[in-house]
Structure 1
Amino acid sequence: MSVLRGVGIGQGVATGPVVRMAEAMPAPQEQPSTLSVEDERTRAREAVAAVAAELQQRADAVGGAAQEVLEAQAMIAEDPTLQDEIDTRIDQGSTAEWAVHDAFAGFRATLEAVGGYLGERAADLDDIAQRVLAHLRGVPAPGVPDPGHPFVLVARDLAPADTALLNLEQVLALITTDGGPTSHTAILAREKGIVAIVGATGAASLSDGQSVIVDAAAGTVNDAPTEAEIAAVEERLAARAAEDDVPAAPGALADGTPILLLANLGKPSDAADAVARGAEGVGLFRTEFLFLSASQAPTIEQQRASYIELLQAFEGKKVVVRLLDAGADKPLAFLNDAHEENPALGLRGLRALRASEDILREQLTALAEADAKTAADLWVMAPMVTTVEETAYFTALAKEYGLKTAGVMVEVPASALLADRVLAHADFASIGTNDLTQYTMAADRLLGSVASFQDPWHPAVLRLVREVGDAGARLGKPVGICGEAAADPLLAVVLVGLGATSLSMAPAALGDVRRSLTAHSLDDARRIAQAALAADDADGARDAARAAAGS
């Protein structure tokens, strides 16, 4: 037996036979076309349109983060600039296959150089190009295999279109050799409640039919389990199923200390699932869905209707709405579409909203009007706040519109280090651990080559969380966590030990985090957090926390 290690998503466990995902189709050969330019253009355009339509159909069939990603893929497929690049190559005598392959490769390189949100989209281009090539060749598109029995899927990584529609009755678990805890695969697996290990480089050695145990809680893959070990997994699965049948209780530690467990949502329609899973409210409602697919800013009336739908689903409960988090890394023609060499450090978040204050004021107006018509406890927060001055500006503006609770996202080290001064103005702080890790570690959270640095367990990140937690405790201000870190059951305990008073996550993660919290008192959480802080790196912090927790 050998044990392969990676980053576990959640606390689940699964066992079954391996089925490997097929490698990508080979690139077409560059050769002159035997068809007319017009025929090749028609072939290319029909193939692109068919793939875009299929991606949109898949998007319509799912919700949450998966829908957003698939809709973005569909838009990329039909990007006019990309179509022009394909046409140019066909005009020069290329086949539709070569023109698609070469144009997508060039477009991918361009987006990778831009980085940020567009850099993330670059990885999606490989999947889109493969699907277009498959359509041109008249063969099935690459995707998840269907062996006709339950299996553990092993892949280099998964395209969003595949992850979004995994058959959870067949896919027992997912193992990828690439990716990190904030990769698309990890985020979508967490949202769908899939047992997953990402970044397990040793999984490349696994073969079809090989029996494995995938233990997300331990971040391990047992590649030669014994019958006794498989039986133990079956017992563990039965115990988890029994726990899931028990109605969800409010989040709390073993000593009764309340810890509000909230949901991260991307659309009002996602609310029902969150409520069913025991969410005590919303810790992060992303308003980008109203803006990113629009050619112009949505009207106040359109926004108000969506906010009312959301707030009505959580009557009497806390709902934290994040203002539009866009800018140079998520270009919007009506906000800011100017090219920037490094969008992650450019005009984004609150900076972009201040540069187009009419959009900010319209959003606050719509939120205030929705608040007046509903009975939820509405909190609003600004994204990417860096300075005390920005905090004072936003909270004063929100109060001007009658919004009683206004806070900020802490996503950069500057605002974390000045948390006491930031919280002197803000009613609360919400820590976005994905971006906070990115900026602390100087590692683009969307770039696979530095995925090992993008780990919220790193003591440098934890120290910044402690700064915010300590400031919140001194000033009597709530401090929430709304990044992916909150969905890690053991890390959730550490975050509470560092001062977090609420945790917000994908609804599918609520059960595991709730169970983890009930196993530890506040004193335990603080002790476990101190053990993690004393480590030198992320792996050491994770191991120290496990040891301190007795797990």
Structure 2
Amino acid sequence: MKGVGVSPGIGHGPAYVLATVVPEPPEGLTYDGDADDEKARAQAALQQVAGALESRGHQAGGEARSILQAQALMAADPGLAVGVKSLIDRGVAAPRAIYEAFEKYREMLIGAGGYLGGRAADLDDVRDRAIALLTGQPLPGVPSEAAEPYVLVARDLAPADTAVLSKDVVAAFVTEEGGPTSHTAILARALGVPAVVACPGATTIPPGASVLVDGTSGEVRLAPSEDDVAEAEHAASIRQAAVDATRGPGRTRDGFPVALLANVGRPADLDPALANGAEGVGLYRTELLFLDRAEAPSLEEQEAAYRAVLESFPGGKVVVRTLDAGADKPLRFLPASGGEPNPALGERGLRLFRAFPDVMASQLAALAAAVVGTEAELQVMAPMVATAEEARWFVNACRTAGLDSAGVMIEIPAAALRAESLVTVADFVSIGTNDLAQYTFAADRQLGALTALQDPWQPVLLDLVAGTATAASDNGKPCGVCGEAAADPELACVLVGLGVTSLSMNAHALPAVRAALAASTLGDCQLAAQAARAATTAAHARAAARAYLPGLADLGL
């Protein structure tokens, strides 16, 4: 079988096929007794689900914690509770009332698209857990212990299924749905577990069947022979040894420097970044400090969180993305934010900052205070910038707050196409390839069916990167990439060939990217970039670039 590799490595073991084990309650299901008692039963089930998810999030920590906290909020959502109670008042039994109320909300999320659309699977998981509690069925889930590591196969995976797993339990993930930025992909990379998503027919794999998963190529092989497994593991060990042998700052074989940075969101992300040789932080997602809270974090709390990251990289660069929330990631303490009919195109990022200047002022002040006395180079950038006027406004706000380096993210086609006008006012630019691909192709990045359009090898996306990097270079400004594209060793070389000066990625991807650059000259990268841009499809672009990067084959990459 063939899917999309989203977390590199080789995984082998028996298949554990996660099926939907909670059936839909029958239509017309009614209850005997008092309506208030039935409402209390439904509410108790939802509260128990919320508490269990919250507890599991605390146990898991890291990326999983924020994801599960958001899922717990779904279970406790007042709007859903009102819908459930209304159905019970009409005689519908609690299990069916929860199913119908959640189904209506689910349709709203899918219609919204973007981040909210991608949360429909999370909502399904909350619904199924509540129904299982009400009907006495086993809760959905996967074994957290096993005699040997297994390959977890599913249509899709809810965060609660994967949050408390480890490499000791799971050899690999395979899902029929999802994309490079789905929760399965994010958590798999954080765990360092190979993963393949968007793999048609994966759930037809017989439970217990032996499976070999290549998280790099996306290949899923059933019933591999001992020789197949040995060959794959040998190739992986050679690749890992070659990768581990490359140390030090990022640079090409002929010495062209390329800063290799880490994407972080919480303190738990710092240790892996340092262990894998990150030279700094290229994307600090500060919104994780703000989400799922009834009140905004104080200036002092923000300052302490930012200082912890800055102090971890003395002499290094730390690029902080200001609050990327609102619309598709609404803030509970800003009731006016969110609720648009199309949140992916709504009031978020810099647009939210302009609507709520007190939130902006507090964050910028906390950043200015946090850098005092540290040796890090602080750079602050705004997300969702579309025009030069917006860039100028943000830079002026940073200057007023005492911040010396202010940049903007390039993730909207309008910004990429007119990058020249943005780099003349901003100190640097950073390209977010995930959203840039989503908006360029009108393809929701959470939908596995549209994975081909989200492929960062799409030549038109490379054109937008090239135009942005050229505009930055012509104006003497740095241009980084902080999207998932930077984590692909081959594509990292192409990005450098396009003129990108720094690459930021999940910490576990740093060694392979460092090795790929060290095996290629700047000329190799430039020729590979030219060949990729001349192609007509993403697959052809990758193949064309590969021909000019012979050093990667020697590494087994």
Shorter-chain-normalised TM-score: which range?
Answer: over 0.9
1:167 Cα shift?
2.9
1:338 Cα shift?
5.3
Aligned to 1:498: 498
For 1:463 and 1:284, locate their aligned partners in 2 and report how far apart those are by CA, in whole Å: 23
1:8 Cα shift?
0.8
Note the 1:221-236 alignment, pairs <5 A: 221-236=220-235
**CA deviation vs aligned residue, 1:314-342 (integer Å, no higher than 9, x gap):** 22211011111122222234274253222
Residue type at the aligned position of 2:2: R
Aligned to 2:458: 458
**2:139 corresponds to which of 118, 138, 141:** 141
Residue type at the aligned position of 1:143: G
Aligned to 1:256: 255
For 2:297 and 2:146, locate their aligned partners in 1 and report how far apart those are by CA, in whole Å: 45
Q: Is the 8 A contact 1:182 1:454 kept in 2?
A: no
Q: Is the 8 A contact 2:379 2:405 kept in 1?
A: yes
- 62 and 315 in structure 1: CA distance in 2 versus 1, 3 angstrom threshold: farther
Aligned to 1:91: 89
Confirm or deny that 1:382 pairs with 2:363: no
Residue type at the aligned position of 1:89: L
Aligned to 2:14: 17
Residue type at the aligned position of 1:340: E
> Unmatched 5+ residue regions in structure 2?
none
**CA deviation vs aligned residue, 1:58-114 (integer Å, no higher than 9, x gap):** 211233322211110011110111111111122222222111111111111122222
Aligned to 1:28: 25
Query: Could you tell me the TM-score, scaled by structure 2's length?
Result: 0.93
Residue type at the aligned position of 1:455: D
Aligned to 1:398: 398
For 1:273 and 1:11, locate their aligned partners in 2 and report how far apart those are by CA, in whole Å: 16
**Over the residues paired in the alignment, what is the CA RMSD in angstroms?**
2.0
Note the 1:195-344 alignment, pairs <5 A: 195-240=194-239, 242=241, 248-332=247-331, 333-334=333-334, 336-337=336-337, 339-344=339-344
Residue type at the aligned position of 2:276: R
Q: Is the 8 A contact 1:259 1:503 kept in 2?
A: yes
Q: Is the 8 A contact 2:30 2:93 kept in 1?
A: yes
Aligned to 1:425: 425
Q: Is the 8 A contact 1:335 1:356 kept in 2?
A: no
- 203 and 531 in structure 1: CA distance in 2 versus 1, 3 angstrom threshold: farther
1:229 Cα shift?
2.3
Confirm or deny that 1:71 pairs with 2:87: no
Q: Is the 8 A contact 1:249 1:278 kept in 2?
A: yes
Q: Is the 8 A contact 2:10 2:233 kept in 1?
A: no
For 1:165 and 1:338, locate their aligned partners in 2 and report how far apart those are by CA, in whole Å: 31
Aligned to 1:526: 526
Q: Is the 8 A contact 1:10 1:487 kept in 2?
A: no
1:449 Cα shift?
4.3
Q: Which moved more, 1:179-188 or 1:381-390?
A: 179-188
Note the 1:434-449 alignment, pairs <5 A: 434-449=434-449
1:164 Cα shift?
1.9
For 1:102 and 1:357, locate their aligned partners in 2 and report how far apart those are by CA, in whole Å: 40
For 2:237 and 2:346, locate their aligned partners in 1 and report how far apart those are by CA, in whole Å: 50
Residue type at the aligned position of 1:352: L
Q: Which moved more, 1:205-214 or 1:532-541?
A: 205-214
Q: Is the 8 A contact 2:5 2:216 kept in 1?
A: yes
- 89 and 440 in structure 1: CA distance in 2 versus 1, 3 angstrom threshold: same
Q: Is the 8 A contact 2:167 2:192 kept in 1?
A: no
Confirm or deny that 1:476 pairs with 2:473: no
Residue type at the aligned position of 2:168: E
For 2:533 and 2:127, locate their aligned partners in 1 and report how far apart those are by CA, in whole Å: 44
Q: Which moved more, 1:146-155 or 1:311-320?
A: 146-155
Q: Is the 8 A contact 1:5 1:202 kept in 2?
A: no
SS in structure 1 of the partner of residue 217 of structure 2: coil
Give the number of equivalent residue pairs: 548
For 1:448 and 1:229, locate their aligned partners in 2 and report how far apart those are by CA, in whole Å: 29
Confirm or deny that 1:5 pairs with 2:17: no
**CA deviation vs aligned residue, 1:191-247 (integer Å, no higher than 9, x gap):** 221101111114344222333322222221233434332221222343355457668
Residue type at the aligned position of 2:311: Q
SS in structure 2 of the partner of residue 384 of structure 1: coil
Residue type at the aligned position of 2:132: A
Q: Is the 8 A contact 2:407 2:428 kept in 1?
A: yes
For 1:369 and 1:56, locate their aligned partners in 2 and report how far apart those are by CA, in whole Å: 32
Q: Is the 8 A contact 2:7 2:196 kept in 1?
A: no
For 1:435 and 1:245, locate their aligned partners in 2 and report how far apart those are by CA, in whole Å: 31
- 74 and 491 in structure 1: CA distance in 2 versus 1, 3 angstrom threshold: same
1:179 Cα shift?
1.5
For 1:393 and 1:351, locate their aligned partners in 2 and report how far apart those are by CA, in whole Å: 11
**CA deviation vs aligned residue, 1:455-480 (integer Å, no higher than 9, x gap):** 22211111100111112222221111
SS in structure 2 of the partner of residue 315 of structure 1: coil
Q: Which moved more, 1:310-319 or 1:268-277?
A: 268-277
SS in structure 1 of the partner of residue 213 of structure 2: strand
Aligned to 2:368: 368
For 1:542 and 1:25, locate their aligned partners in 2 and report how far apart those are by CA, in whole Å: 42
For 2:7 and 2:448, locate their aligned partners in 1 and report how far apart those are by CA, in whole Å: 21
For 2:217 and 2:113, locate their aligned partners in 1 and report how far apart those are by CA, in whole Å: 32
Aligned to 1:55: 53
1:181 Cα shift?
1.4
For 1:473 and 1:212, locate their aligned partners in 2 and report how far apart those are by CA, in whole Å: 47
For 1:525 and 1:86, locate their aligned partners in 2 and report how far apart those are by CA, in whole Å: 57
1:173 Cα shift?
1.1
Residue type at the aligned position of 2:22: M
1:429 Cα shift?
0.5
Residue type at the aligned position of 1:530: Q
For 1:115 and 1:203, locate their aligned partners in 2 and report how far apart those are by CA, in whole Å: 25
SS in structure 2 of the partner of residue 491 of structure 1: helix
For 1:364 and 1:120, locate their aligned partners in 2 and report how far apart those are by CA, in whole Å: 30
For 2:21 and 2:250, locate their aligned partners in 1 and report how far apart those are by CA, in whole Å: 44
> Unmatched 5+ residue regions in structure 1?
none
Query: Could you tell me the TM-score, scaled by structure 1's length?
Result: 0.94
Confirm or deny that 1:101 pairs with 2:99: yes
For 1:251 and 1:544, locate their aligned partners in 2 and report how far apart those are by CA, in whole Å: 24
